A and B are shown apart, each in its own frame.
Chain A
Amino acid sequence: NAGVTQTPKFQVLKTGQSMTLQCAQDMNHNSMYWYRQDPGMGLRLIYYSASEGTTDKGEVPNGYNVSRLNKREFSLRLESAAPSQTSVYFCASRDQGVPQPQHFGDGTRLSIL
């Protein structure tokens, strides 16, 4: 039972490079989320997908794009990485209905030089 799987776990990029973070869940959840975690700021929502085929902006969407490829997969793309995007990125998924807890992946630690 993998739950939510994120790849890669670590990545170093140079400013201006592009990259896609992958997320897949095997729990048949409808909703999926991308957060970033910065020191002292908790987790902030970047984008979410309430169901397959829909995506919406969260609190900090600038500089990111997402794709809900199918029910299982939700990717996050940085088109032109900036040092301010150095962070730990978490993907999460949740079952529908009465707010169920979100299940989180183990995170991707991204450094942009």
Chain B
Amino acid sequence: AQKVTQAQTEISVVEKEDVTLDCVYETRDTTYYLFWYKQPPSGELVFLIRRNSFDEQNEISGRYSWNFQKSTSSFNFTITASQVVDSAVYFCALSGPARQLTFGSGTQLTVLP
């Protein structure tokens, strides 16, 4: 069985602070894929990044960066210099053998002005 744990239910920061969202996963597959999605207050789900199990390089995209560590089964997401528009629920997800996604319970990020 696969499992994704996002232990941080809610995080609140002040604008311009850096914030890291944690994601820990469990899987028996040797090949797997990890994803992050953003769900703003409007409710839609927006794809942010995909990472495969063979690629442990960190990735940076503007103010967003992702740290994938197989040794600790973690795929953490950092927002640098947070902005109010970053306020959303962020989901980490893991692809299964039939390629369906197992989602974590999400982290509600609130960025205060």
* Interface residues of A, Cβ cutoff 8 Å to B: 31, 33, 35, 40-45, 48, 50, 56, 58, 88, 90, 92, 94, 98-104, 106-107
Contacts and interface: CB of A to CB of B under 8 A. Distances in A.
Contacts of B104: 42
A99 to B, nearest CB: 4
B50 A48 contact: no
B100 A58 contact: yes
21 contacts: A35-B103, A40-B106, A42-B103, A45-B102, A48-B98, A48-B100, A50-B98, A50-B99, A58-B100, A88-B43, A90-B45, A99-B33, A99-B50, A99-B95, A100-B50, A101-B35, A101-B50, A102-B47, A102-B101, A106-B43, A107-B43
Contacts, number: 51
A41 to B, nearest CB: 6
Interface of B: 4, 6, 9, 33, 35, 43-45, 47, 50, 52, 91, 95, 98-106
Contacts of A40: 9, 105-106
Contacts of B106: 40, 42
B45 A45 contact: no
Given A40-B105, A41-B105, A42-B106, A99 B99 contact: yes
Which of A48, A88, A90, A102: most chain B Cβ within 10 A? A102
